């Protein structure tokens, strides 16, 4: 079977591999910053202008911990997408494993959106008029629709894979 878009698949694969690496690097950097806030609390507090406001430093630490915990979730998304791309490259994307992968991606994206809202909540709770923290507090429908679409697509893949297995069993 010829691949209609081999360059797009190759580019997607390279991009996903780069995103996996960048995701882990981001996690390592945030973890290093977190450790830095523990090792040099006074210096960090002065550097960010939070001296005299322990809530701000605590809020930053909470956001860092949440971000580090979100890194493996991001890795789930990227690695599952990479596996799906590999099945497309092999010419056999309509398998039940891809349905499972899409469902995992859907749950992961849902979790990441909840994590985003949690981070916004933490930032909002420690933000003051004297030291405001500016994050995007807008609630967007797009990620929620993406989650819904991913769950539906997972169901479509699962149904299609079962139909194909049934058809192969009759031939």
pLDDT tens per residue, range 54-67: 888 899 899 999 99
The pTM of the full predicted model, rounded to 2 decimals, is 0.86
Average of pLDDT values for 14-19? 96
The CA-to-CA distance between both ends of the chain, in Å, stands at 20
More reliable by pLDDT, 1 or 74: 74
Q: What is the rounded CA–CA span in Å between residue 168 and residue 56?
A: 61
The pLDDT tens digits of the residues spanning 84-138 come to: 999 998 888 888 999 999 999 999 999 999 999 999 999 988 887 777 777 777 7
What pLDDT shows up at residue 49?
73
Residue 83 has pLDDT above 70, yes or no: yes
């Amino acid at each position: 079977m010829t691949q209609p878009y081999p360059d797009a698949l190759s580019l997607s694969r390279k991009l996903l591999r780069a995103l996996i690496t960048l995701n882990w690097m981001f996690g390592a950097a945030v973890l290093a910053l977190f450790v830095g806030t523990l090792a040099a609390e006074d210096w960090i507090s002065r550097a960010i202008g939070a001296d005299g406001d322990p809530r701000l430093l605590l809020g930053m630490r909470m956001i860092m911990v949440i971000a580090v915990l979100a890194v493996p979730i991001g890795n789930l998304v990227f690695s599952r997408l990479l596996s799906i791309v590999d099945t497309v490259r092999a010419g056999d994307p309509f398998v039940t494993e891809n349905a499972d992968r899409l469902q995992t991606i859907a749950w992961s994206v849902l979790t990441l959106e909840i994590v985003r809202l949690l981070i916004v909540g933490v930032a909002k709770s420690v933000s003051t008029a004297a030291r405001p923290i500016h994050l995007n507090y807008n609630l967007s429908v797009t990620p929620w629709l993406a989650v819904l679409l991913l769950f539906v697509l997972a169901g479509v893949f699962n149904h299609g894979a079962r139909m194909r297995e049934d058809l192969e069993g009759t031939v």
